[in-house]
Amino acid sequence: MLSQTTIRVPWNTADAVNQRIEQETRDRIRHYAANPHQIDRRLRELDEEWDIERTLETNAAGLTLLGVVLGTINKRFLLLPALVTGFLLQHALQGWCPPVPLFRRRGVRTTTEIERERYALKALRGDFQPVSRGADNDQATATVLRAVGA
């Protein structure tokens, strides 16, 4: 049985790397708790941060394209796209492939790890005000969607 998508990469990452990524996130949140005027800028930066999936997909697409182009020169280069697509399949099924440890050591995070920081910053900023039980549905919906940034 396959593990949940949100936990496959951390499960297949060395504990020390996961702990370092978590500590770096905590340190950033601590910094922005002391400097709330910088939270909006950090949230914009998080919008631009590439998660591990996007990083893997982009690198795989680039290497596959390179292999196909070079394959027109020498057929042996067609092994590169075959290898890369095998890695992508392995990652899709197991949450791990040879490039994952390299990217994780460089601090590339999962979507869940990025979103945890985003929601912590939003909470610091005060986005999650209680929704009044007496509010009408439209008001409650607008408040909740505003809080989650939709």
pLDDT tens figures, 75-94: 999 999 999 999 999 998 88
Average pLDDT of the segment spanning 89-114: 94
Question: Which pLDDT value is given to residue 135?
Answer: 63
Question: Which pLDDT value is given to residue 138?
Answer: 77
Question: Which pLDDT value is given to residue 128?
Answer: 76
Residue 104, CA atoms < 13 Å, CB-side half-sphere: 25
Pair 55, 84 in one domain? yes
pTM for the predicted model, two decimal places? 0.84
**8 A C-beta contact, residue 57 and residue 68:** no
User: 126 or 69: whose pLDDT is higher?
Assistant: 69
Pair 66, 98 in one domain? yes
Residue 16: C-alpha distances to residues 82, 94, 105 (Å) = 32, 20, 9
Residue 47, CA atoms < 13 Å, CB-side half-sphere: 7
Pair 40, 55 in one domain? no
Pair 100, 76 in one domain? yes
Pair 62, 99 in one domain? yes
Pair 31, 11 in one domain? yes
Angle, CA 19 vertex, CA 57 and CA 117 arms, to 5°: 65
Pair 62, 136 in one domain? no
Average pLDDT of the segment spanning 26-47: 97
Q: How many folded domains does the chain comprise?
A: 2
Question: Which pLDDT value is given to residue 147?
Answer: 65
Pair 63, 28 in one domain? no
Question: Which pLDDT value is given to residue 142?
Answer: 73
Q: How far apart are CA 19 and CA 27, in angstroms?
A: 12
Pair 76, 42 in one domain? no
Give the residue among 4, 110, 105, 2 at the shortest CA–CA distance from 52. 110
Does residue 3 register a pLDDT over 80?
A: no
Question: Which pLDDT value is given to residue 46?
Answer: 98
Pair 27, 8 in one domain? yes
> Is residue 116 packed enough to be buried (19+ CB in 10 Å), middle (13-18) or exposed (0-12)?
middle
Domain that holds residue 113: 1-48+109-150
Distance of CA 6 to the CA centre of its chain: 10
Pair 124, 92 in one domain? no
User: 66 or 150: whose pLDDT is higher?
Assistant: 66
Does residue 1 register a pLDDT over 70?
A: no
Pair 127, 140 in one domain? yes
